[in-house]
Amino acid sequence: MSPAGLWAAASAPAKTNLALHVGDPGPDGFHPLETLFIAVDVHETVTASINSHVTRRGSGVLVSVSPAPGSEYAEMIQSGAARLSDIPLDSSNLAVRAALAVCAAYECNPGIELRIDKAVPVAGGMGGGSADAAAALVAVDALLARHLDRPRLGRERLMGIGSELGADVPFMVLGGLAEGRGRGNDLRAVETGNQLHVVFVPQDQGLSTPAVFRQWDRAHRATVDQGSAQAPDPLNRTLVTAAAVGDAAGVATWVRNDLQPPAIELLPELAALLNHGVDLGALAGWVSGSGPTVCFLARSAQDADNLVDGLRREHRHAFSTTGPVEGAQLIPEWGTI
């Protein structure tokens, strides 16, 4: 903590994709996407404080990570199913990159210390690193605005900065339910009514997002070689409407992830788990983003809890969530002084 004791904290949600349609990569190697994001109520928290000693070390941003108390991720760490050492603590950490980008926008880096309280399993397709970046954007924006006595950059500007950091970051700032196009960062918010209940089943082993896209490429190489690159399929409007009104049965019918087959090719045991969750009463199962976390849609909060109990009896890690929830938020009760 700086002598002035200036600090700010923000939280940001995890996500899954109710639809993820992939197109053939362009010359820059990026795959165009059509996706329907939903933000769910498992949150990362980032606390940012000013520490002038940090400027003398490396990039001027120092980060530490702890498992959020009471989270499934903390249990995974305790049981050895996950390792904190999987999270980089250098300038490749997305929260550090976010903090540096906000410093660049203010043209000021007084030395910033970040603490991440992590609840979202790493490399699971739930956008945990992107949530850390989104929370860091909001927290460091508030911190520097206060430190310099200037107006905050605000949500829209932060989303623009976030789009330079990663495809999921702008959505983690926005939250809710949103259609994403291009690299996923051309966002259109969808107005919503009732909530959906999604159970997440993280795996002991992560999957690298680039590896899953490479596996998708192998299956589609023939089309690319012929020079007839395909755009992603458009989003299914019935699915978007079902998600908007919280119609779980409708969502279960139309949920689709083009990265699921390549994720299963890399981790074949996911196929049996997807079937098993449906046998235990889920309306549908899918791989979250690039995986390997598996999601199950439940009819109600009670059904979601029953499903979690069933999966835990089998010694699996599982937790239930509801969504959509709002995007990255400053935590007001923690204040900025």
271 is in an annotated binding site: no
* Nearest to ligand ATP of 146, 317 (CB atom): 317
| Strand 7-22, strand 33-50: pairing | antiparallel
x-or-dash string of contact with ligand ATP, 128-167, rule CB under 6 A: xxx-x-----------------------------------
- Does the annotation flag 172 for ligand binding? no
Which is closer to ligand ATP, CB of 103 or CB of 280?
A: 103
How far CA 267 is from CA of 170, 217, 221, 298, in Å, comes to 29, 17, 21, 24
Minimum CB distance to ligand ATP smaller for 242 or for 286: 286
- Residues, the chain: 337
Min CB(134)–ligand ATP separation in Å: 11
Q: Rounded to the nearest whole angstrom, what is the least distance from the CB of residue 62 to ligand ATP in the complex?
A: 13
Residue 117: which of 131, 97, 127 has the closest Cα?
A: 131
Q: How far is CA 162 from CA 94, 95, 165, 236, 313, in A?
A: 10, 10, 5, 27, 40
Query: Which one from 117, 132, 141, 168 is the annotated catalytic residue?
Result: 168
Residue nearest to ligand ATP (CB): 129
Gap between the Cα atoms of 13 and 44, Å rounded: 6
Q: Residue 221 burial by CB count (10 A; 0-12/13-18/19+): exposed, middle or buried?
A: exposed
87: contact with ligand ATP by CB under 6 A: yes
Site residue total, ligand ATP (CB under 6 A): 22
Smallest Cα–Cα separation from 315: which of 81, 67, 16?
A: 81
Q: At what angle do helices 128-148 and 155-163 cross, to 10 degrees?
A: 130
CA angle, residues 216, 218, 224, in degrees to nearest 5: 95
In angstroms, give the least distance from the CB of 125 to ligand ATP. Answer: 4
Tokens of 63: 């980060």
User: Which H or E run includes 42?
Assistant: strand 33-50
Q: How many CB atoms lie within 10 A of CB 29?
A: 9
The DSSP output letter for 33 is E
126 assigned binding-site residue: yes
Strand-pairing partners, residue 287, are 294
- Is 219 among the annotated ligand-binding positions? no
Establish if 88 lies at the interface with ligand ATP (CB under 6 A): yes
Stretch of 80-88, 193-201, 265-273, 279-287 contacting ligand ATP, by CB under 6 A = 80-88
Least separation in angstroms between CB 13 and ligand ATP: 12
Cβ-Cβ contacts under 8 Å for 250 (sequence gap 6 or more): 238, 239, 241, 242, 243
By CB under 6 A, tell whether 168 contacts ligand ATP: yes
Q: Which range binds ligand ATP by CB under 6 A, 28-36, 83-91, 235-243, 245-253?
A: 83-91
Least separation in angstroms between CB 129 and ligand ATP = 3
Q: Is 168 a catalytic residue?
A: yes
Binders of ligand ATP in range 110-129 (CB under 6 A): 122-129
Quote the CA–CA distance of 245 and 238 in Å, as a whole number: 11
Take residue 314 and report the two structure tokens written for it: 């089998």
R_g (Cα) of the chain, nearest Å: 20
Q: Is 122 one of the annotated binding-site residues?
A: yes
Q: Based on CB atoms, which residue is closest to ligand ATP, 129 or 180?
A: 129
Beta bridge partners of 289: none
269 or 309, CB closer to ligand ATP? 269
Which C-beta is closer to ligand ATP: that of 119 or that of 280?
119
Site for ligand ATP (CB under 6 A): which residue of 71, 163, 209, 260?
Answer: 209
Annotated binding site: 121-131
- What residues make contact with ligand ATP under the rule CB under 6 A? 86-88, 92-95, 122-130, 132, 168, 206, 209, 289-290
Binding residues for ATP: 121-131
Catalytic residue positions? 15, 168
